[in-house]
Amino acid sequence: MEKKILGKTGIEVTELCFGALPMGPLQKNLDLESATEVVAHALKRGINFVDTAQLYRTYDPIRNAIKLTGINPVISTKSAAATYEEMERAIDEALRSLDRNYIDIFFLHAARVDEDVFEIRKGALKCLTDYKARGYIKAIGISTHNVKVVELAASRDDMDVIFPLINLKGLGILNGSVDDMRRAIEKAYRAGKGIMIMKALGGGALLQDYRKAMDFVRGLNLHHTIAVGMVSKEEVDFNVNYFNGIYEEEKLSAFSREQKRFIAVESLCKGCRSCLNACPNMAIDFDEEKKKARINPEKCLTCGYCTSSCPEFAIRAV
C-alpha cells in the first residue's frame, strides 16, 4: 500500500487510515476481544495509521492490538477540550490508555465549531503546543467539517495536520459547497499541511457508490491519507484491497446490509435538546409541539456523537 509523508511532519502514513469510531460504543459497540482482532488484522494487512478520539472510547482495543501483533502504528487522537487543564487530562488519558510515551498526532476535535474555534480553544491549543515542545506529541492539528476553519488553519503555523470532511455529494460540509471545501483543502495542501480526509463515504451514505466516491476523493490529489471506519476483518480486507488496486464490487452488498441508522425513541425523549448541540451536521430536528427530538436521515452522518449526549439513552442505532 502506498505511503506518504504527512505534510511537513516527517510522519509516514499509509493512504488508508483505520478509523476506530465505528467499532466503539458510539456505533457498533464491539466487545473488547472482537475490536482488538479487527485492529490487529488491519495492522497485519499493512495499515500503519489508526485514528481515534477521546470521545470514541476505543483506546483499549488499539493498545491490545499493538501488544498482540508487535506492530507499532502511527496514532492520531482528538479531544473536544477547551481549556488547558482539560486538554492536559485528555493527553494524559491517551498516553496511559494507549501505553505510549508519545502521541503522533493530537487534534482539536471541533467538527461543527465555527471560525472562532482557535479563540474558544486557545487554552487547549496552548496545552498541545507545550506538550509538543516537550516531546509528548509529534504533530498538532484540527478535525473539522467547516470550510472556513480549514481556510484559517491553512495559514496557521501551529497547525501541522488538518482533518477535513469532503465527499462526492458534500454531505456534512459546513459553511460552503464541495468546491469551496476543495479549494480550502488545496490551500492547506499547498501550504504544506498534512491532509487527512474524513467521511469520504458520507458516513456510509455513499457506500453503494464506493468506487465512485473514493475515486472522487483520491482524484483530487490533495490528501496524504483517508480515514475509513471499519468494524470487521472483511471490511478491512475490502478496503485494503481497493487501496492496493483490487476492487471487489460483488462484496459491497454484504456491507450495505449491515448499515445502521440512528433514531430518537420518542417515548424516551425528555426534550432536553442536548443532542442538538452534539450533532456535528445539525441533523437533529426538534418538534416544538411534541417537545421531542427527531433525527433527519437525509443529513445524518451516522457518527453516533449524539448517543453519548443523551441522558435518557433515547438515541439508538437500528
> Domain with 269 in it: what CATH number?
3.30.70.20
Q: How wide is the angle at C-alpha 300 spanned by C-alphas 204 and 224, nearest 5°?
A: 50
132 with 165, same domain? yes
Q: Average pLDDT of the chain?
A: 93
115 with 188, same domain? yes
Helix (H) or strand (E) holding 84: helix 84-98
Q: Which of 216, 231, 257 is the last residue of a domain?
A: 257
Parent domain of 41: 3-257
CA–CA dist 129, 96 (Å, integer): 19
CA–CA dist 146, 144 (Å, integer): 5
At 228-269, the pLDDT tens digits run 999 999 999 999 999 999 999 888 877 655 566 778 878 778
Could you tell me whether strands 225-229 and 16-19 are parallel, antiparallel, or unpaired per DSSP bridges? parallel
Domain count, the chain: 2
- 3-state SS record for 20-46: CCCCCCCCCCCCHHHHHHHHHHHHHCC
Q: Which of 27-31, 63-67, 270-274 is modeled with the greatest confidence?
A: 63-67
CATH number, domain containing residue 62:
3.20.20.100
CA–CA dist 11, 4 (Å, integer): 8
Closest CA to 290 of 264, 308, 313, 311: 264
| Type of residue found at 194 | G
Residue 75 vs residue 264, higher pLDDT: 75
179 with 282, same domain? no
At 45-55, the pLDDT tens digits run 999 999 999 99
138 with 214, same domain? yes
- Hey, how many other C-beta atoms are within 10 angstroms of the C-beta on 195? 25
At 12, the pLDDT band (50, 70, 90 cuts) reads very high
129 with 233, same domain? yes
Predicted local distance difference test score (pLDDT) of residue 314: 79
Residue 41 confidence (pLDDT) above 70: yes
Q: Which of 215, 236, 257 is the last residue of a domain?
A: 257
279 with 180, same domain? no
Q: pTM to 2 decimals?
A: 0.89
132 with 278, same domain? no
180 with 310, same domain? no
At 56-71, the pLDDT tens digits run 999 999 999 999 999 9
Q: Which of 105-119, 214-228, 268-282 has the lowest mean pLDDT?
A: 268-282
137 with 275, same domain? no
CA–CA dist 67, 294 (Å, integer): 42
Q: Which of 257, 277, 300 is the last residue of a domain?
A: 257
Residue found under cell 484540527: 142
87 with 74, same domain? yes
Predicted local distance difference test score (pLDDT) of residue 298: 80
115 with 238, same domain? yes
7 with 98, same domain? yes
Predicted local distance difference test score (pLDDT) of residue 91: 98
